[in-house]
Amino acid sequence: MTEATAKPASTGAQGLRSRKQASWLLQYVLLQVLIVMLCVLALRHPLSEPPQPTRVSAFSLNDRGAARSVTLPDFVVSRFSMNDPAVYRGSFDWTKDDAARAWSVYLPRFTNGVEVIVNGVAILDSRRDPSANRPDRATPEIAVIPASLLRDGANDLAIKLYVWGPVSGFLDRVSVGPDAVLRPYYEQRTLLFVTLPMVFSAWQGILAVILIVLWAVRRHETAYGALAAAMALGAIQAFLPTAVDQTAHPELSATVIASSAPLESGFVLAFAILFFGRRWPRYGPLMFVPGVLLVLIGIFGNPEALRQSFVYFGIPGLGVNLVLLALVVAWSEVRRQDVPSLLLGCAVTIVLTCWVHDMLSLLQVIPDHRLFFTRLSYSAMLAAIGAGLTWRFARALNQVDGFAAHLVIQLREAEEKLKASFAREEERARVAALARERTRLMRDLHDGLGGQLVSIVALSERGEGGASVGDAARAALKDLRLVIDSMDDIGGDLMLALGSWRDRATAQLRPHEIALDWRVTSPQGLPVHPELRPWHVIQIVRILDEAVTNAVKHAAARRITVSIETLTDASGASSGCITVADDGKGFALAPDGAAATERQTARGLRNMRSRAARCGAGLELISGPGGTSVRLILPRRFPDGDAAAG
């Protein structure tokens, strides 16, 4: 968000931005300091211990031939041998009055392995417990002493402490007493240091599966790939067997366990860099160097070298990665101020604090009971990662919703624009159609009405009144009706236009006492032509008019027959045919097809042919002594443009 507002901003705004960032950074750092203080308080808070009477503190230690008396807790120098354990010898009192209750030996903390011997009989060997063999887990041990072993009075207690470096040997205060008294303390520690880490590891496994799926579906999100690798590694190492002498591939397990922490921290750091949108640094691969080194040593070196290397590479590598992670997250928090970076930042601070605590404990700088918390505190990081990813996911869903809403708005706007442009286009088309219709109307009026009116004027001027003026005027009116009639929408059914024409023709023929026979061969008459336009209708009607006028004026006919039929050819296509036949005297046709008898007739025939051609119709003229027949064969499809009309 800050990026978006900063881009067009001036230097003043940038200054404001950096001041804002500085104040944010201060707040963030103060929050982390508070978290460190809370962590230290929690770490310093002592765990509850069994009551004083059960403690066995005075021991004589026999270590590498030298004997001395010691008080627990006690440290033993680091070594790599399992054959000469340090032996602590002490004693505790038991009376027969206690025979009703079971007695136990409780060891809250030791590194690395213990064997407990009561009155010369071994009752516990921690090296068979895989959890206890992990020095990073403060696994407690408890063993019930068989009643038959106990003697009234003083009993011998010997503890063999096995050490397999690099961590120095450690034995915390041992308690011997009634099982009912000791067990709650044991259970409390088991819950904290064994069960909880197992639960977190299981959770890490689930997280690994989710992230692997996420990464498999979205390959370009390498950040999730890196995090999936970290989670998978963490989950696998937690469940690897570590029981001494019982593992199938002890070297492999040891390698994985030793390299897991530095490698895992490297992957988490890589995830943070990619997730928070930083460019992948040129020296990025260096963060994996300690882990890879440990893997190589594990494969090619011996277990002792691996353990030694873990101290020199693994633990510092982990620390360096944690510090870098804290810096990356802090940078992201200052830049973005979002929930995932804040959560992860706090988690990193907790882990880092615990790591420092563990370092100090390992180096025996602080008086402590040698409890390592780094693994445990790592669960805070897992929680932060889970919460951060969920937050990111929810925000992405919100963004999708917002995007959809935005899209709906845009769609509506586009729709409105389209509607407006469509209306404009429609208006333009309407205006164009109107102009076309006006042109056509003018031409039709010019062709018919205009000429007839002019001839009326001419006849009147010559003083020829009476019948010819009346005929010309009547013809003009008839043409006017035709033009008006042709403007009506007849839905492509030429029969509707012919119906009106029949009315007019009948009225025209009545004074001449010529009968009009109307023969329609089928009830529906002619095929319907959706492409039929008014100008087609006018041309066809004028052809029919011309044929009727010729019959009246020149043929001296008594009867005119109009036949309307639908012709169907071999292919099944149908076309209309209108025939106007009279019983007049006919006329001779010149070889070129034009009439030779009268000039006017010739002009009339020429007009009929050109009108038929403009409509794509065929015209057949047969004339003989028995009469004249004009046969108009309509096209299957009327032409669109009036090309021949010019």
Partner 1 sequence: MTPSTDELPAGEIRVLLVEDDPPTLWRLQDALTKAGFDVVAAATLAEARASLARRIPLVLLTDLQLPDGHGVELIRETRQRFPDTEIMVISILGDEESVISAITVGATGYLLKDAFPTDIASTVRDLVAGHSPISASIARFIVRRTQKSAEPPPGPPLNTTRLTPREIDILWGIAKGFSYAEIAGHLGLSRQTVPGHIKSIYRKLEVHTRGEAVFEALQQGLIKL
Query: Which stretch in 231-239, 366-374, 492-500, 625-633 sits in contact with partner 1 by CB under 8 A?
Result: 492-500
Q: Report whether 597 contacts 587 (CB < 8 A).
A: yes
Q: Pick between residue 287 and residue 472 the one whose CB is nearest to partner 1.
A: 472
Q: Does 287 bind partner 1 (CB under 8 A)?
A: no
What is the nearest approach in angstroms of partner 1 to the Cβ of residue 497? 9
Handedness of CA 422, 424, 426, 429 (dihedral sign): negative
Q: Report whether 604 contacts 555 (CB < 8 A).
A: no
Q: Does 484 bind partner 1 (CB under 8 A)?
A: yes
Q: DSSP 3-state helix, strand, coil percentages of the chain (rounded to 5)?
A: 60, 15, 25
DSSP 52-96: GGGEE-EEEEEETTEEEEEESSEEE-----SSS-EEEEEEEEE-G
Q: Pick between residue 183 and residue 474 the one whose CB is nearest to partner 1.
A: 474
What is the nearest approach in angstroms of partner 1 to the Cβ of residue 478? 9
Q: Pick between residue 374 and residue 500 the one whose CB is nearest to partner 1.
A: 500
Cα–Cα distance between 487 and 534 in angstroms, integer?
A: 6
Q: Give the orientation angle of helix 374-445 with respect to helix 467-486, to 10 degrees.
A: 170
Query: Which stretch in 5-13, 21-29, 487-495, 633-641 sits in contact with partner 1 by CB under 8 A?
Result: 487-495
Write out the binding residues for partner 1, residues 4-43 only, by CB under 8 A. Answer: none
Q: Does 559 bind partner 1 (CB under 8 A)?
A: no
Cα–Cα distance between 267 and 270 in angstroms, integer?
A: 5
Q: Does 501 bind partner 1 (CB under 8 A)?
A: yes
Q: Give the orientation angle of helix 339-362 with respect to helix 11-44, to 10 degrees.
A: 40
Query: Which stretch in 196-204, 322-330, 417-425, 506-514 sits in contact with partner 1 by CB under 8 A?
Result: 506-514
Q: Does 500 bind partner 1 (CB under 8 A)?
A: yes
Q: Does 613 bind partner 1 (CB under 8 A)?
A: no
Q: Does 154 bind partner 1 (CB under 8 A)?
A: no
What count of Cα atoms within 13 Å lies in the side-chain half-sphere of residue 576? 24
> Would you call 626 helix, strand, or coil by DSSP?
coil
Phi-psi region of 277 (alpha: psi -120 to 50; beta: other; left: phi over 0): left
Q: Pick between residue 18 and residue 524 the one whose CB is nearest to partner 1.
A: 524
Q: Give the orientation angle of helix 467-486 with respect to helix 451-461, to 10 degrees.
A: 170
Count of residues in the chain: 646
Q: CA distances (Å), 540 to each of 172, 472, 579, 612, 635, in order?
A: 120, 21, 12, 7, 12
Q: Which two tokens stand for residue 337?
A: 């101020």
Candidate list 491, 593, 624, 626; residue touching partner 1; CB under 8 A:
491
Tell me the β-bridge partners of 69.
60
Question: Which phi and psi angles does 404 have, rounded to 5°?
Answer: -60, -45
Q: Report whether 166 contacts 67 (CB < 8 A).
A: no
Q: Pick between residue 368 and residue 485 the one whose CB is nearest to partner 1.
A: 485
Query: Which stretch in 196-204, 298-306, 376-384, 518-526 sits in contact with partner 1 by CB under 8 A?
Result: 518-526
Candidate list 311, 495, 528, 602; residue touching partner 1; CB under 8 A:
495
Q: Does 510 bind partner 1 (CB under 8 A)?
A: yes
The residue whose two tokens read 């044929």 is: 547
What is the nearest approach in angstroms of partner 1 to the Cβ of residue 481? 5
Candidate list 132, 344, 490, 548; residue touching partner 1; CB under 8 A:
490
Q: Which two tokens stand for residue 345?
A: 């930042």
Query: Which stretch in 183-191, 249-257, 262-270, 500-508 sits in contact with partner 1 by CB under 8 A?
Result: 500-508
Give me the helices (H) in 7-128, please. 11-44
What is the nearest approach in angstroms of partner 1 to the Cβ of residue 450? 17
Candidate list 136, 311, 518, 616; residue touching partner 1; CB under 8 A:
518
Query: Which stretch in 22-30, 232-240, 363-371, 519-527 sits in contact with partner 1 by CB under 8 A?
Result: 519-527
Q: Does 520 bind partner 1 (CB under 8 A)?
A: yes
Cα–Cα distance between 474 and 493 in angstroms, integer?
A: 27
What is the nearest approach in angstroms of partner 1 to the Cβ of residue 510? 6
Candidate list 86, 320, 498, 595; residue touching partner 1; CB under 8 A:
498
Candidate list 339, 496, 594, 622; residue touching partner 1; CB under 8 A:
496
Q: Does 499 bind partner 1 (CB under 8 A)?
A: yes
Cα–Cα distance between 375 and 139 in angstroms, integer?
A: 13
Cα–Cα distance between 170 and 370 in angstroms, integer?
A: 8
Cα–Cα distance between 543 and 610 in angstroms, integer?
A: 10
What is the nearest approach in angstroms of partner 1 to the Cβ of residue 512? 10
Q: Does 525 bind partner 1 (CB under 8 A)?
A: yes
Q: Does 488 bind partner 1 (CB under 8 A)?
A: yes
End-to-end CA distance of the chain: 68
Binding mask 442-481 for partner 1 (x = CB under 8 A): -------------------------------xx--x--xx
What is the nearest approach in angstroms of partner 1 to the Cβ of residue 505? 10
Query: Which stretch in 187-195, 507-515, 540-548, 570-578 sits in contact with partner 1 by CB under 8 A?
Result: 507-515
Q: Which two tokens stand for residue 43?
A: 């770490």
Q: Pick between residue 261 and residue 482 the one whose CB is nearest to partner 1.
A: 482
What is the nearest approach in angstroms of partner 1 to the Cβ of residue 463? 19
Q: Does 502 bind partner 1 (CB under 8 A)?
A: yes
Q: Which two tokens stand for residue 119?
A: 């009155």
Query: Which stretch in 202-210, 237-245, 488-496, 539-547 sits in contact with partner 1 by CB under 8 A?
Result: 488-496
Q: CA distances (Å), 61 to each of 69, 93, 119, 141, in order?
A: 6, 20, 17, 21
Q: Does 631 bind partner 1 (CB under 8 A)?
A: no
Q: Does 503 bind partner 1 (CB under 8 A)?
A: yes
Q: Report whether 204 contacts 382 (CB < 8 A).
A: yes
The 58-63 sheet, strands edge to edge: 66-71, 58-63, 86-94, 153-162, 113-118, 121-125
Q: Pick between residue 24 and residue 518 the one whose CB is nearest to partner 1.
A: 518
Candidate list 358, 485, 546, 583; residue touching partner 1; CB under 8 A:
485
Burial class from Cβ neighbours inside 10 Å (0-12, 13-18, 19+) for residue 515 reads middle
Contacts with partner 1, residue ranges (CB under 8 A) = 473-474, 477, 480-481, 484-485, 488-491, 493, 495-496, 498-503, 507, 510-511, 518, 520, 523, 525
